[in-house]
Structure 1
Amino acid sequence: MSKPTEAQEPLPEHRQRLLEAMSHAVAGKGYADTTINDIAALARVSKRTFYEHFGGKAQCLIALYEAASHQAIKVLRQSLDPRQDWHGQVEQTLRAYFETLASNPVLLRTLFIEILGLGTEGLAARRRVNRALADLIVEVVYAGQPKRVRSDPLVADMAMGIVGGINELVLQAIEADRVDRLAELTAPASRLVRAVTKVLEELS
């Protein structure tokens, strides 16, 4: 059977191919030097097909950022071991997170740094991802607590603070060219979670 033509392939497959093309393009050339022609050529689709899915290069990067982030969160959830207490789960999950980030260092730099330069739309996407990570932290740390505790606004805000702190540790590692050693952040990040949780317990 011959390979389906571009017009015959379902649009979701085109979108996936465009995201993969964006990933390869920015890994090879960086976001600033990547063009829509580059992305379309790597995805083996027309520019018209690109614009059927994305309004421009920035929107494609945001979609890639969210897809990559959701995949990382999926890895985190799969790494959870209910047999461990929350301290062990947090450490194991953070290690899996850092190892996932370090698996593609060039793309990591692009997603963590370039997303900040896309204006309000990029910041909104970053905040959505941060909220999903914060929700996961609350889920792990407060798994045995009543719903009213887990939904306390202070708990949610402090969890976002933890995510912000972890992001800064990652950015610092990127700037220092230590992406290959991201797993070393597991210990300080775990201590941060424990310290913030202890403060919340004292306030409650």
Structure 2
Amino acid sequence: MTTVRYLHDQHTASTDDGAGGFRRRLLDGLAASIAEKGYRATTVADIVRRARTSRRTFYEHFSGKEECFIVLLTAANAEMIRRVSAAVDPAAPWTTQVRQAIEAWIACVESEPALMLSWIRDVPSLGAAARPLQREAMEAFVSVIQTFCDTPEWRAAGVGPVPRPVVVMLLGGLRELTATTFEDGGRLSDVTEVAVRSTIALLGPHAGA
């Protein structure tokens, strides 16, 4: 799982002894439970069982399931941004860069569909507790996309810089496309071309007008 690998990389301890190892195991346990039964049905007991540790250890690291979820999603978001950024060749034509970014997004999402669907559908129900996460995640992606779109290659094509509201609309559309595709039993890779064409149309030369 992408997030599990990412969390592993964030803790350099060679064993699961110590605070870092236990924290990683708890986050991995939550990710595994979400994949099996969803966030809402997951309990702290599910998390600690999969982490092979105790409730006491859980509460030494997190105030509750919500905080553990927020930390997990923060890591997942950072990993997605890293993978999308790494996939884009800034010297390529701008339409190629769009395809590279969309394909990287889809590959990342399809590696953990349950977690991504939970991010989209369950986080809003957390209310104020998750608001900073939502804003920070959005702003991080907005910054990355605006940076992609503000290069000599994009400007030479008459594209970019792209206004923030346009990027927000793009991200909102991609997230809803993701959620509805999974909920309908489809594969996100099947709508790659729709996502690429729509993104090109939205970010095209008129976007900064």
Q: What TM-score, normalized by structure 1, do the two folds share?
A: 0.82
How far apart are 1:20 and its partner, in Å?
0.3
Q: In the alignment, which residue of structure 1 is the partner of 2:198?
A: 192
Paired residues of 2:74 and 2:133 also in contact (CA < 8 A) = yes
Aligned-residue sequence identity (percent) comes to: 30
Paired residues of 1:19 and 1:60 also in contact (CA < 8 A) = yes
1:177 is paired with a residue whose SS is: coil
2:163 is paired with a residue whose SS is: helix
Which of 123, 128, 135 is the aligned partner of 1:120?
Answer: 128
Give the alignment of 1:162-177 within 5 angstroms.
Answer: 162-177=170-185
Q: In the alignment, which residue of structure 2 is the partner of 1:86?
A: 94
Structure 1 stretches (4+) deviating beyond 6 angstroms? none
How large is the Cα RMSD of the aligned pairs? 2.2
How far apart are 1:97 and its partner, in Å?
0.7
2:33 is paired with a residue whose SS is: helix
- 2:141 maps to 1:139: no
Note the residue ranges of structure 2 that are not aligned, 5 or more in a row. 1-13
How far apart are 1:79 and its partner, in Å?
0.9
Deviates more, 1:123-132 or 1:64-73: 123-132
Give the alignment of 1:146-161 within 5 angstroms.
Answer: 150=161, 155-161=163-169
Paired residues of 1:134 and 1:156 also in contact (CA < 8 A) = yes
Matched positions, count: 189
Q: In the alignment, which residue of structure 1 is the partner of 2:75?
A: 67
2:56 is paired with a residue whose SS is: helix
How far apart are 1:94 and its partner, in Å?
0.6
Distance (Å, rounded) in 2 between the aligned partners of 1:131 and 1:186 = 24
Note the residue ranges of structure 1 that are not aligned, 5 or more in a row. none
Q: In the alignment, which residue of structure 2 is the partner of 1:32?
A: 40
- 2:60 maps to 1:52: yes
